[in-house]
Amino acid sequence: MTPSSNDRPPIPGPAPVKTRRFGFSLVWIVPIVAVLVGLSLVVHNLMQEGPTITLTFKTGAGLAANKTEVRYRNVVIGHVTEVALSDDQKNVNATVKLDKQAESFTREDSKFWVVRPRIGAGGVSGIDTLLSGDYIGADIGQSSTRVKHFIGLENPPAITYGEPGKHFTLHTQDLGSLDIGSPVYYRKIPVGQVVAYALDQEGKGVDVEIFIHAPNDAFVSANTRFWNASGIDVEVGANGFALKTESLSSILVGGIAFRAPDYNPNDTAASENQRFELFADQAGALAPPAGKAQYLALRFDQAMRGLKVGAPVEFLGVEIGRVVAVNLDYDEVKRSFPVNVGIVIYPQRLGRAHEKMIKALQHDPNDEASAAKLIGTFIDNGLRAQARSGNLLTGQLYIALDFFPKAEKVAFDPTARPVVIPTIPGSLELLQEQLQTMVDKLNRLPLERIAGNLDANLVELRKGLTQFNARTLPGVQNTLAEVSNTLKSANSTLAEDSPQREQLTQTLDELGRMSRSLRELADYLGRNPESLIRGRPDNAGPMDLQGPPRK
């Protein structure tokens, strides 16, 4: 029997699935919010965190981790987080954490230095650190390259914060009293300062870098002259003493002054970092352009005591150069010790005379052969070098180039380098030679024999005067007395109003004066017999002729 469908067992199917609803608890809201806030703070800090740089200094004086600040324009832009020795233990590395807004201080030419109390040529700085402590000063650079390591400056830079102005380089033989911070003056007003100095590449001079603040940098032109205004400039002239100085600061710490010549047409403004020469004084700076230098050699046979390197060289009274060398030599032929003197001259200092000479003689100043030929022409016309006294008190000498038409002719070698200028003795040497010649002539005179003859003649003359006074003069006086008596007798016989009597009276007066004159002459010759040879002295008074009154 077939079972019915109702009797069949049920076919097994998939088990029914029971669903559960998830329940969220409010307790988790707080930690989730805290995590989100923390993550946002971390992200914000990472986004606001500035760069980290390393500064290398020679010492760690004034540096302290988590204490020393980094400031720009006295605003804090970072902190020192670590101070440690370098790997070679020769320097100190300071790790600095900069703020986000100070990211531009990672430029390659940015500068960092330790600010502490300092006393320098520019004055006293860093006084505020006595209370707040040392900090690191910063100055932003202009480079587009970014770096993480910087070499810290040991001294603060003279120019900071992008000060407007121009830099210039001055070349000089030595630094003198100049230093970083020494002032630069224009018409005795400080307009800049020295910012750096260093030896030139050849080590034969010093390059001094200066900075002129705007707008005064416009007064520096292509023809401006700079000179060292340090110390005191004392001049002694016909009007007395002249004392010159820029300021008290320039006396103590040195200084530089500049100015353009008064006549300066078509001058243009100087460009950035233009090079100039630094002169020793104002007179040398404002003098006409020196032009091309020409070296000459001199040879003196006399001693050159008082001639020093740097002594002036003058041509017809105009200074055109200086002495550059003074050396002692030995002449094997004469077995003497001449003095070789080297000088340098600047013909362009002659001004218009040099220009006219070039045109008239068709001279090329840049051609050495032409210059030597021109000097040879001057030597043929009597050009000579002479050492003259420049100061009688100090005995200093200078070299004078002058024309002596009567000087002996000398052979000139136009191929010699340097060109040799013939010399003549100095004025004092010539005077000494003349005095020595006079002394030699006097020594050759027979002075003793002449003196003996004069003594003998004076003795004979005295004897003759004695005989004249004892015999001749009394006879003359007696004769005159007799003539006087005779004339008196004749006078008495003549009428009082007759012309003959008046003439006799005059004759008697003349005879009386003649008698007195003869007596006075005899007395004077008795006291001064040498007057017959030497004559009557100019200062002889009347009493010298009258002598003592006769009794």
- Lowest mean pLDDT segment, chosen from 59-68, 144-153, 449-458, 500-509: 500-509
438 within domain boundaries: no
| Higher pLDDT, residue 493 or 4 | 493
Are residues 453 and 527 both part of a single domain?
A: yes
Are residues 475 and 412 both part of a single domain?
A: no
Query: Do β-strands 206-213 and 165-172 pair in parallel, antiparallel, or remain unpaired?
Result: antiparallel
Mean pLDDT for the stretch of residues 369-386:
88
Are residues 456 and 392 both part of a single domain?
A: no
Q: For residue 25, what pLDDT band results from cuts at 50, 70 and 90?
A: low
436 within domain boundaries: no
Residue 376 Cα to chain centre, angstroms:
33
27 within domain boundaries: no
**Preceding omega of 164 cis (within 30 degrees of 0):** no
Q: Could you tell me the two tokens for 366? A: 């840049």
Are residues 300 and 421 both part of a single domain?
A: yes
Question: Tens digit of pLDDT for each residue in 397-411?
Answer: 899 999 988 888 888
Instruction: Tell me if 324 sits within 8 A of 344, measured CB to CB.
Output: yes
Are residues 302 and 348 both part of a single domain?
A: yes
**Preceding omega of 548 cis (within 30 degrees of 0):** no
Instruction: Tell me if 106 sits within 8 A of 148, measured CB to CB.
Output: yes
Are residues 457 and 521 both part of a single domain?
A: yes
The domain boundary, picked from 379, 402, 429, lies at: 429
Are residues 169 and 146 both part of a single domain?
A: no
73 within domain boundaries: yes
Residues 6+ apart with CB under 8 A from 523: 546, 547, 548, 550
Are residues 281 and 192 both part of a single domain?
A: yes
Q: For residue 441, what pLDDT band results from cuts at 50, 70 and 90?
A: confident
Are residues 225 and 206 both part of a single domain?
A: yes
Give buried/exposed letters for 446-462 (b at 16+ CB in 10 A, else e): eeeeeeeeeeeeeeeee
Residues 6+ apart with CB under 8 A from 435: none
Q: For residue 180, what pLDDT band results from cuts at 50, 70 and 90?
A: confident
Number of domains in the chain: 4
- Counting every residue written for the chain, the total comes to 551
12 within domain boundaries: no
Instruction: Tell me if 261 sits within 8 A of 300, measured CB to CB.
Output: no
What number of CA atoms fall less than 13 Å from residue 406's CA on the CB side?
0
Q: For residue 101, what pLDDT band results from cuts at 50, 70 and 90?
A: confident
21 within domain boundaries: no
Q: Could you tell me the two tokens for 278? A: 């630094």
- The DSSP code for 128 is T
Q: For residue 323, what pLDDT band results from cuts at 50, 70 and 90?
A: very high
The domain boundary, picked from 218, 251, 285, lies at: 285
36 within domain boundaries: no
Can you name the residues that pair with 116 across neighbouring β-strands? none
Are residues 174 and 278 both part of a single domain?
A: yes
- Which of the given ranges, 27-36, 258-267, 351-360, 408-417, has the highest pLDDT on average? 408-417
> How many Å apart are CA 533 and CA 518, to the nearest integer?
19
213 has pLDDT over 60: yes
Are residues 422 and 302 both part of a single domain?
A: yes
Q: What's the domain range around 266? A: 165-285
pLDDT of residue 42: 72
The domain boundary, picked from 260, 285, 310, lies at: 285
Strand, coil or helix: what is 235? strand
pLDDT of residue 368: 81
Question: Tens digit of pLDDT for each residue in 465-506?
Answer: 777 666 666 776 677 677 777 766 766 665 556 666 667 677
Mean pLDDT for the stretch of residues 160-189:
88
Mean pLDDT for the stretch of residues 437-444:
75
> How many Å apart are CA 129 and CA 124, to the nearest integer?
12
What number of CA atoms fall less than 13 Å from residue 412's CA on the CB side?
20
Are residues 364 and 477 both part of a single domain?
A: no
Mean pLDDT of the chain: 79
> How many Å apart are CA 322 and CA 344, to the nearest integer?
6
340 within domain boundaries: yes
User: Radius of gyration of the chain from Cα atoms?
Assistant: 53
Mean pLDDT for the stretch of residues 180-194:
90
Residues 6+ apart with CB under 8 A from 310: 322, 323
pLDDT of residue 123: 57
What number of CA atoms fall less than 13 Å from residue 310's CA on the CB side?
2
Q: Could you tell me the two tokens for 326? A: 């003074």
pLDDT of residue 81: 93
206 has pLDDT over 90: yes
